[in-house]
Structure 1
C-alpha cells in the first residue's frame, strides 16, 4: 500500500518531470473525476474507489466479485473503472469494445461479461462473450470509432496516470489517497473506505 504522503509526493513529482516522458495529470481531481472514465455504483457517492484493470488480468477478474460485493453493501461508494490494457492487443480490443458499448447504454453489461471470463482472450472470444451477453461487437466497435478520439485519449491518460503513480501491474486500487496494488479482500476494502470517509 502507498500511503497518503507518498501518493501526494508522487503527485508533486509528476509536475516537474518532462511532459514528453510523462503526459499525465495525477492530481486527485484528474484521477478520481475524469469525466470520460466510466463509473459504477453510486455516481454521487461520498467515497470513490478507482480501479486500474485489464480484461485479461486473472487477478482483476477474480477480485471483481469482491469489488461488487462491497459496492452493493455500501450504497455511497462510487467506483471509477480505469482501463489499463497492458496484456497485449486483445486487452486493447476489449477496452475499445466495452468503452464503445457506452454509446449503446451497455457498458455495465459488457464489463460484467468480460470480467466473468477466465484466462487469456482472443478477439474472437471477446466478440463471442459480448454477443452472448447481448452486446453486438460490431455496434460496440462502431461506438468506439464514433468516439475514438475521446476514448483513445482516455486510455492514454489512464496509462500515464498508472505509470506516474508507480503502479507495477493490475489490479491496483486507489481509495482516498492510498494505493492498494494487487487483489484485495473485502475487509481491506471496507477499512480503506471507512478511513477515506472519516478523513
Structure 2
C-alpha cells in the first residue's frame, strides 16, 4: 500500500468520525510502526485543518450510506413480515378488499401530519380502485393518544372503525371528552369496549414491536410494498410508491 493511498484511507476514516488510530490499525499494513502511525495521523490532522471543506461532504456521504442501509434493512423486515403487517385489525382498513397493493399507515390521533395526510389517502383510494389502506395504531405522542388508540381498536373490533376514526378527527383536540363523543357517534358498545381494553393494549404493543423492527421514527409512517418511510407523503409520492410496489420494486 503506497503512502498516498494510506493517507487517503485514513483521512476518509477521520473525516467520517472514526478514531485515527483505529483507522490506521484497520487499514495500514503490519510493518507500519508506532512512529509512522503518529506521523500519518499528524499529516491527516493538519490536512483536515487546512481543508475543512471536505468534512461536510464526507459526513453527507456517511449519512447517505446509513440512510440507504436503514432502508435496505427496513425493506427486508417488511418483506419477511408482509402478512402480519398487512393483515388489518378488525375493520381498521379501507379500499378494495382484493387490492393488489396494500398501504399500511402507522398513525397517532394526536399527530397533525397524520390528520393532514387524510385528504391524500382519500384521493388515492378514489383514484385507484385496486389499493387498500390498513391503519395501525402507533400512539407515541401522549397518553391521550393511547386512550384514543384503545377506543379505536375497540371500534375496529366492533366493525365501526371508520365511523370512530372520522368522528374523532372531526372532533378537534384529542381529549377524554372527544374520544367519548366519537365513540357515541360511531355507535360503539361501551361496555364491550371496556372489556376489550386488554386485547387493545396487546395489539398496540405488537404494533410498537413491529415499528421498532422496521426502524420507524415517527408518525405517519408507511409500509408500501418494500418501501418503508417515516414521513407525511403527498398524493404524488403515495402514487409513486404504489406503482413501485406493483412493479415489485
> Among 95, 100, 116, which residue is 1:62 paired with?
116
Larger RCO (CA within 8 A; separation ≥ 6): 1
Once the 2 structures are TM-superposed, how far is the Cα of residue 83 of structure 1 from its aligned partner? 0.3
1:124 aligns with 2:190: no
Tell me how far apart the structure 2 counterparts of residues 168 and 57 of structure 1 sit (CA, whole Å).
13
Higher helix share: 2
**Contact persistence 1:61–1:116 (CA under 8 A):** no
Structure 2 Cα separation of the partners of residues 136 and 53 of structure 1: 23
Which residue pairs with 2:166 in the alignment? 112
Point out where structure 2 has 5 or more consecutive residues left out of the alignment.
1-66
TM-score of the aligned structures, taking structure 2 as reference length: 0.65
Give the aligned CA root-mean-square deviation in angstroms: 2.4
Deviations, residues 109-167 of structure 1 (Å, cap 9, x unaligned): 0011223344x421112223443xx2256x2x423333334322211110111112111
Deviation of the 1:34 alpha carbon: 5.4
Using structure 1 for the length normalisation, give the TM-score.
0.79
Partner of 2:225: 176
- The count of aligned residue pairs is 180
In the alignment, structure 1 residue 5 sits paired with structure 2 residue 56 = no
> 2 CA distance for matches of 1:4 and 1:76?
26
1:55, CA displacement in angstroms? 0.5
Distance, in Å, in 1 between the alignment partners of 2:100 and 2:192 is 31
For 1:70 and 1:122, locate their aligned partners in 2 and report how far apart those are by CA, in whole Å. Answer: 30
CA contact (8 A) 2:117 2:233 kept: yes
In structure 1, list runs of 5 or more residues that go unmatched: 13-25
Larger-Rg structure: 2
How many angstroms does 1:183 deviate by?
Answer: 0.8
Q: Is the 8 A contact 1:98 1:107 kept in 2?
A: yes
For the residue of structure 1 that corresponds to 2:122, the secondary structure is: helix
Using the TM superposition, name which of 154-163 and 98-107 deviates more: 98-107
Are the aligned partners of 2:104 and 2:222 in contact in 1 as well (CA < 8 Å)?
A: yes
**1:97 matches 2:148:** no
Q: Which residue does 1:21 correspond to in 2?
A: none
Q: Is the 8 A contact 1:172 1:181 kept in 2?
A: yes
Give the Cα separation in 1 of the matches to 2:155 and 2:198: 15
In structure 2, the partner of 1:15 is none
Tell which deviates more after alignment, 101-110 or 51-60: 101-110
SS at match of 1:87: coil
Corresponding residue number in structure 2 for 1:77? 131
